[in-house]
Structure 1
């Protein structure tokens, strides 16, 4: 879940020498009404990350990006994860490229999420760290699970440079607000570990799935981790105050949350509880998902 207002921004923006952000209109969680696709390009070759839509407006924007980056061959599409707002344009874009006489790009996705895709897509299944070359730009596929089981981030490195030029991070991070991490799709401990993994690599630019690019990378990653730990503290405080069921803990932590997102809030609280149970700080009494739960003493 995220909060706050999304600021207006350009629909096509060059972020660095080899990276373009393309804002595609999609249905997603508030406050955003778009998903960012990212075009990585060098020497006439391109790799596109997360084409979330392929309606007429989206295809026009993607064509504009390919032209601006002087891409003659879109060799690959890479997915950070398989949520609909990040993969919704794969088929339409592939058909669009074929209709213009081009070949279908190779599709890359993490092995943990490959079986969620339609059978005919036949993606390359990524696992572990792998580097794809786009011209002279090295794109490292980094496992960053937490928001989803097989979430990936893509690090761009120029030839001879160790520090990443940019990190395309999907829903590991957003420019404002927070990322939804909820059970069973998400894992809170893995999410926090992924934030730390990316922080240690110190990319110059953070390219999130929603909202503008982030240049204060360390600050933003720290804010996202701090928000999750603040929620964790609220969960513990609710248990200490006598809340025992998942429903009661959710009500205490997310006071006044609208009914249409209450289910997401509940899943997020459950992800926190599962992390705390794994750490032996909370116990689950019985086998009902709603609890009761209690602090370990």
Structure 2
């Protein structure tokens, strides 16, 4: 697959992305977050809407508050939207809520023990000019947010710089497949992801993501035709050239694929080892 790249962004600065949208990239770079988590500030008729607070980092919170003041006299924050409750997205929520009094809108059911939304959202709900699009897979509570002019804030479901990690139990590969298919049925013209640059004309890329996952799934099934294996053995065979820092995440993806294949009756497990039905008892 062909991925997108971008230069390292300026830290603590709200950079324009599209008309009415600015981005502040948190200082939490890494192999799972690229240059850092994207926090978006969107200018709406009712005030600034902030999407994904980012990590619990005082400098990032201060930069966001300064950017909001620069966008709107008095620093009015109308609402906080949260795509999902992974720590690199939800971490700064409490600090921003306390500093601004803005309500937080997120998926109705939170797996995070210390978080509950002020405004619980379900698929298709409209809030502050946005429409929630429920896209589980990367996370059980994952929402994309559709805005005007074909703009979709795709968070961690689709990112142009990398594929997404699907780590059970919160991650679900069957749901991820279905959520990708769902986006292919929409007419969005540009995605603004949770990490990395904007993704224009996204449908060909989403189709490539789906094809990549199908190919990976078929490779796992084919590997098991040679005999039982555990997730580490499969990861080692299939991701032999992978950066060592990403191997644990790759193993979680393998497990997610195996659970999907198990639900479809294509593989079974025997303790920590997996095998195809054709090799059971062989």
Query: Under a length normalisation based on structure 1, what TM-score does the superposition of the two structures give?
Result: 0.82
What is the CA-CA distance between 1:52 and the residue it aligns to?
A: 0.7
Query: Using a 3 Å threshold, how does the CA distance of structure 1 residues 285 and 233 change in structure 2: closer, same or farther?
Result: closer
CA distance in 2, matches of 1:205, 1:268: 26
What is the CA-CA distance between 1:241 and the residue it aligns to?
A: 3.0
Query: Using a 3 Å threshold, how does the CA distance of structure 1 residues 269 and 4 change in structure 2: closer, same or farther?
Result: farther
CA distance in 2, matches of 1:42, 1:275: 41
The SS at the match of 1:293 is strand
Q: Which residue number corresponds to residue 132 of structure 1?
A: 127
CA distance in 1, matches of 2:199, 2:162: 13
CA distance in 2, matches of 1:261, 1:204: 31
Q: What per-residue deviation string (whole Å, max 9, x for no partner) do you get for residues 211-265 of structure 1?
A: 0111131122122222212211221221123343333222211215455443322
Alignment of 1:245-260 (within 5 A): 245-257=230-242, 260=245
What is the CA-CA distance between 1:296 and the residue it aligns to?
A: 4.5
Q: Which residue number corresponds to residue 116 of structure 1?
A: 112
1:153 aligns with 2:144: yes
Q: Which residue number corresponds to residue 284 of structure 1?
A: 268
- Cα contact 2:84–2:142 (8 A) shared by 1: yes
What is the CA-CA distance between 1:206 and the residue it aligns to?
A: 0.4
- Cα contact 1:244–1:292 (8 A) shared by 2: yes
Q: CA RMSD in A?
A: 2.5
- Cα contact 1:244–1:294 (8 A) shared by 2: no
Q: Which residue number corresponds to residue 58 of structure 1?
A: 60
Q: Which residue number corresponds to residue 178 of structure 2?
A: 193
More displaced, 141-150 or 257-266? Answer: 257-266
Query: Using a 3 Å threshold, how does the CA distance of structure 1 residues 27 and 112 change in structure 2: closer, same or farther?
Result: farther
CA distance in 2, matches of 1:20, 1:223: 28
1:84 aligns with 2:79: no
- Cα contact 1:131–1:139 (8 A) shared by 2: yes
Counterpart selection for 1:14 from 8, 13, 16? 16
- Gaps of at least 5 residues in structure 2 are none
CA distance in 2, matches of 1:74, 1:106: 9
- Cα contact 1:5–1:31 (8 A) shared by 2: no
Query: Using a 3 Å threshold, how does the CA distance of structure 1 residues 217 and 258 change in structure 2: closer, same or farther?
Result: closer
The SS at the match of 1:34 is coil
- Cα contact 1:129–1:142 (8 A) shared by 2: yes
- Gaps of at least 5 residues in structure 1 are 98-103, 158-163
